[in-house]
Amino acid sequence: MLEAYPLHPMNLKHFPGLALAALLATASVHAQTFAVTTDTVPTAVSAVNKHAAPILAALKLGDAAKAAKVNEVVTTFFNGLNDWHHQNDAALKGLWNEFNHGRSKKDTAAANAALDKIDALYATFKPQHDGFLKGLGEVLTPAQVETVEDVLTVRKVEVTYNVYTQIFPNLTDAQKAVVLQNLKAAREQAIDASSMLEKSAFFKKYKIKIEDVYLTAQGFDPKKAREDFAAKSAKAKTDDGAQPDTAPEAK
């Protein structure tokens, strides 16, 4: 497996309507803080089944035995996830607040320190995380395991990657590969988050790596690229007679 582009220790159309929304979410990673709530995953069996149902629908296995095994693996994972978050959400909330504070104060060291603590806390869930992926891998192909991860993160890898290729149309294949690696690394962490807001926060963490570290080092100006793309999108909508979208907030 390819590794994501490393963050310096001291730094951090097939979805109509979603692409520009993802652009606006991507905009101004310097200025944003992440108001994460750590809502514990529901404990009821029916709620756990709500997670398994869309996974099985996306997989389209056509094999009752495989479907039953996947359902068992998913149910076990979410039961463990719920228990873990019940014990750790209070600490996580405080750490995400530390991260928000560091970002708002433009204190990169403090923000990164908070992220390190978050990663260390989530490391205690690694046995369950690894067991989940191992269990899936015993039944599914690698591509199908990725499908499960995509369902659990509402296909953020695909949507965000497509937006990046529009904002930065001159990316080389090698650069696109690094962007994709980072987004998949974000997905790997996000599947353990208990709320969609926290999943998004993990993706923002890697967008900072992609933009502030990698693309900037590659000679791109992410702020200008976002602004140019937003202006072009607004002009295209105006030309079509539609109401232009609001441009991304400046850094």
pLDDT digits (tens, 9 = 90+) for 81-125: 999 999 999 999 999 999 999 999 999 999 999 999 999 999 999
Tell me phi and psi for residue 68, to 5 degrees: -65, -40
Burial class (CB in 10 A: 0-12, 13-18, 19+), 79: middle
For residues 19 and 237, give the distance between their C-alpha atoms in angstroms, rounded to a whole number: 14
Angle at 153 between CA 136 and CA 126, to 5 degrees: 55
pLDDT at 35: 54
pLDDT digits (tens, 9 = 90+) for 15-69: 334 444 444 444 445 444 445 554 544 444 455 567 889 999 999 999 999 999 9
- In angstroms, the CA 138 to CA 106 distance is 45
pLDDT of 160 > 50? The answer is yes
Q: Which 8-state DSSP code applies to residue 170?
A: T
Q: What is the pTM of this model?
A: 0.78
Query: What per-residue string of b and e applies to 199-219 under the rule 16 or more CB within 10 Å gives b?
Result: bbbbbbbbbbbbbbbbbeeee
Per-domain residue ranges of the chain: 33-152, 153-235
